[in-house]
Amino acid sequence: MSTEVPLQRPLGGNRLGAREQFLAELGKALQVGECWGLVLSQPVPGQAGDGALRVEKVTVRPVEISGQRCYQLAERRGKQEFHRNLGADELLRRTTEEVGAAFAQADLYTRSADLYLRFNGRNGAHLARKKPSRSAAPVLAHDRRKRYIIPEGEPCAFMQEIGVMTPAGQVKAARQAKFRQVNRFLELVEDVLPELPPDGSLHVIDFGCGKSYLTFALHHLLRNIHRREVEIVGLDLKAGVVRDCQRIAERLGCTGLRFEVGDIAGYAPGGAVDLVVTLHACDTASDAALARAIGWQTRAILAAPCCQHEMAGLLSTDVLPGILGFGILKERFAALATDALRAAILERAGYQTQIVEFIDLEHTPKNLLLRAIRRAQPDPAAADAVELLKRQLGIREFSLERLLQDLPA
Ligand SMILES: C[S@@+](CC[C@H](N)C(=O)[O-])C[C@H]1O[C@@H](n2cnc3c(N)ncnc32)[C@H](O)[C@@H]1O
């Protein structure tokens, strides 16, 4: 577990001190090539670019392009993400301009430490140094062959157990798609890690875990790669698969991972939940999972829907006869409309929500994933979007809304 070593003077002390120390550490890490990640977040209200075009968050990772180290910035603006590459000097200059001015929060990940800089209007700045959470060197590949979080050629016990890898770490020809899916999922989890508590045990629930390939992958990422303490629960209705998964977890010695038989709707977590994952849970089971996660004020939610029969039954062909008159188009439209309405409801409930691609379309048309992060303050602009979308779709009721209304107070 990390230990916190405050670097900063007492609150109300020298505001520049903490900021300057952070920038000095960033400069040093950039100079020796040991800046493994940087996240700028919590935009300061009233800055230029407020509104639709405002950059809400910048996530930086090192990449190598034509043999040169540079830094890829992923800038989030609303529901979109824009990428650009900068050299070390430019990155330092830009960070110097924006830390404390445009962003009230900055996280730096280096080989030797994690640094967390926080600005609080009244109390000035606070800098905390913690043990490095990124124990492995970052993947630098950018425009070359894709490197994976679980790379081919490195033996991995759970990948072997689920039949994706040989004992030597080679990916079996017939399991390439599963190998890519597992790695893609882990990239999506990595993206939300900076939003989760930086120390202490992480409490994660995988609703509708099924055979739990992705639950084991999640455990591997958090526990073996990031060295976090975890309490991960895989929940499923099917006693047989739960028993098998529990046996595998015990055989592999997966500390902090357990499986339970149960219905999402009635599950009680017994404590705060940091991350809820629900992947391909059928029809309204995804809504039940989202409702639980929202009700617990879970920090981050990753939800990939499965079949979406409810919406298909609600949509009247009269709304868009040229599209909904075709059975297959109606089915696909219903899936998109379900994702959009769930995203709007998550936004209204106080979650910054994106819809991203999960896996290649060649494997399944159900390749979208909702990524939702709890905002510090709800976005007032999200208040009317749900009703507007329902009016446009010509529907009155929707499971997720009903389930949210039924949550215990
Ligand atoms: C298609 S599988 C997905 C398995 C896994 N999450 C994945 O993506 O590979 C859906 C799983 O959700 C489970 N499930 C469906 N409704 C559920 C509910 N209400 N409570 C718990 N599990 C549920 C099913 O039993 C099934 O194992």
Residue bearing the CA closest to ligand 1, atom 11: 208
Cβ atoms of 63 and 141 within 8 Å: the answer is: yes
- For the beta carbon of residue 146, count every other beta carbon within 10 angstroms: 10
**153 pLDDT higher than 90:** no
C-alpha distance from residue 225 to each of 161, 220, 282, 303 (Å): 18, 7, 31, 23
Q: pLDDT tens across 263-294, in order?
A: 999 999 989 999 999 998 877 789 999 999 99
- Ligand 1 site residues (CB inside 6 A) read 208-210, 213-214, 235-238, 263-264, 279-282, 285, 288, 306
Q: Which residue has the higher pLDDT, 293 or 147?
A: 293
Residue bearing the CA closest to ligand 1, atom 26: 210
Nearest ligand 1 atom to the CA of 265 is 19
Amino acid at 226: H
Nearest ligand 1 atom to the CA of 241 is 27
At 49 the pLDDT is 57
Given the candidates 3.40.50.2300, 3.60.21.10, 3.40.50.150, 3.40.50.300, the CATH classification of the domain at 157-406 is 3.40.50.150
C-alpha distance from residue 115 to each of 89, 93, 200, 230, 373 (Å): 20, 18, 16, 22, 21
Residue bearing the CA closest to ligand 1, atom 1: 280
Q: Give the CA angle between residues 63, 66, 71 to the nearest 5°.
A: 25
pTM, whole model, 2 decimals?
0.70
Residue 185: which of 154, 160, 163, 206 has the closest Cα? 206
Average pLDDT over residues 68-83: 82
Tell me how far the alpha carbon of residue 37 lies from the centroid of ligand 1, in angstroms.
34
Average pLDDT over residues 245-271: 95
Give the three-class secondary structure for 324: helix
pLDDT grade, residue 8 (50/70/90)? Answer: very low
Q: Where are the chain's structural domains?
A: 5-130, 157-406
Nearest ligand 1 atom to the CA of 267 is 20
Nearest ligand 1 atom to the CA of 263 is 20
Nearest ligand 1 atom to the CA of 209 is 6
Q: pLDDT tens across 207-240, in order?
A: 999 999 999 999 999 999 999 999 999 999 999 9
Tell me how far the alpha carbon of residue 239 lies from the centroid of ligand 1, in angstroms.
12
Mutate to test the pocket of ligand 1, among 212, 282, 310 (most ligand atoms within 8 A of CB): 282
pLDDT grade, residue 407 (50/70/90)? Answer: confident
- For the beta carbon of residue 143, count every other beta carbon within 10 angstroms: 8
**13 pLDDT higher than 50:** no
Average pLDDT over residues 13-22: 76
pLDDT grade, residue 142 (50/70/90)? Answer: low
